[in-house]
Amino acid sequence: MSVYRALMLAKSRAALVVLSTLAGGCADRGHAVQIHDVEPLLAVSLGVPRDVEGPRGVDAPIVIVAIDGVRWQEVFQGSERGRAGSPPVAAGSIFKNLHALGLQRGGFIGAPGSGTMTASGPNYVSLPGYTELLGGRATPCNDNECSRTTLPSLLDEARAVGAKVAAFASWEKLDLAATANPGAFLSSCGRRGDAAIDPWPGYGDYRPDRLTAAAALEYYEAELPDVFFLGLGDPDEYAHRGDYPGYLASLRRADEILGRLLGLLDRLGERGRSTHVVVTDHGRANDFRNHGGMPEAARVWMAAAGPRFVARGAVSSPRGRRLADIAPTLRVVLGLPPDTSERSGVPISELF
């Protein structure tokens, strides 16, 4: 409470939002927010100048954005005719910022006609998907009730070499995939029992995307983490409710959040220009409402941009790509050793 009172006295609403969210995050309950954690946030919120440093412990900064529930159909073909009860909407109108990222600043993997990208499965639901995405390897986790990953995630590996690492997510269980070592870095996932937060369109400890994004972007601008994960989830929640208009609206909001992030990077000058951005999802069925064991739910996509990625537009892949290939690709960017284990993915060489 002393931290909150200090922020109230400072009259810094932006910092208060960040810290109340951090305190309600999904790191272990024994991991309290400390004064040294908030001093940089106070400095930014109160307008104190701060130097923009280069990356620590890694070759270049990266940002990973996962938008849960986004079908490839909406990303590349637009809204589904007849489902929304309104005229079809072009993909570029739904995903203005995502298309600018994947078509102008960088490239798309898994675009129709350019090869496929799939999750390893066999059950294409959220926790196995995020564990594969952040670990870079197929996982024995087969449902959303799995325990915490026992192998280091990409975030853990970056933290081990001295990088500043953070993860924010709307879904509380994403923390189980983000790190094998809870408390090693900031992982703020879900509302964590905060009765002041309405979880709609989710339930339980879900934290709506607008709150997750506000806290995440405030934190990013204040702390400039070297490896940063942002997990959005409203599209998945609306889809599970069968609300296609709500689903489309949440896709637009997710794209707007991506635009705010890219705008922030643009304002950071050389630091922003050196940052690599990857946007992806873990798969969804053709019926839009579900994901699971159905084979088509394995299909995923990604957009990637940054100075190491020379590819532009829809990138032709010489082989089928996997969700597990994203972390090995980012290990190359970060300058981390490759994972040579049997279940590991491989770098997506066509991006370089």
Q: Read out DSSP for 219-284?
A: HHHHH--SEEEEEE-HHHHHHHTT-HHHHHHHHHHHHHHHHHHHHHHHHTTHHHHT-EEEEE----
What confidence tens digit (pLDDT) does each residue in 45-77 have?
434 334 577 899 999 999 999 999 999 999 999
Name residue, tokens 């975030």. Answer: 155
What confidence tens digit (pLDDT) does each residue in 305-343 have?
999 999 999 999 999 999 999 999 999 999 999 999 889
In three state form, how does the secondary structure of 320-337 look?
A: CEEHHHHHHHHHHHHCCC
- The phi, psi pair for 168, rounded to 5°, reads -130, 140
Put the strands of the sheet holding 313-314 in their side by side order: 186-189, 165-169, 227-232, 62-67, 276-280, 302-305, 106-109, 313-314
For residue 224, how many C-alpha atoms fall within 13 Å in the half-sphere facing its CB?
Answer: 20
As a whole number of angstroms, the distance between CA 306 and CA 300 comes to: 20
Pairing of strands 106-109, 302-305: antiparallel
As a whole number of angstroms, the distance between CA 144 and CA 154 comes to: 20
The helix/strand/coil state of 285 is coil
Average pLDDT of the residues of the chain: 88
As a whole number of angstroms, the distance between CA 199 and CA 207 comes to: 5
As a whole number of angstroms, the distance between CA 235 and CA 237 comes to: 5
pTM: 0.88
| pLDDT tier for residue 26 given thresholds of 50, 70 and 90 | low
What confidence tens digit (pLDDT) does each residue in 114-166 have?
999 999 999 999 999 999 999 999 999 999 999 999 999 999 999 999 999 99
pLDDT on residue 51: 52
As a whole number of angstroms, the distance between CA 293 and CA 290 comes to: 10
pLDDT average, residue stretch 77-104: 93
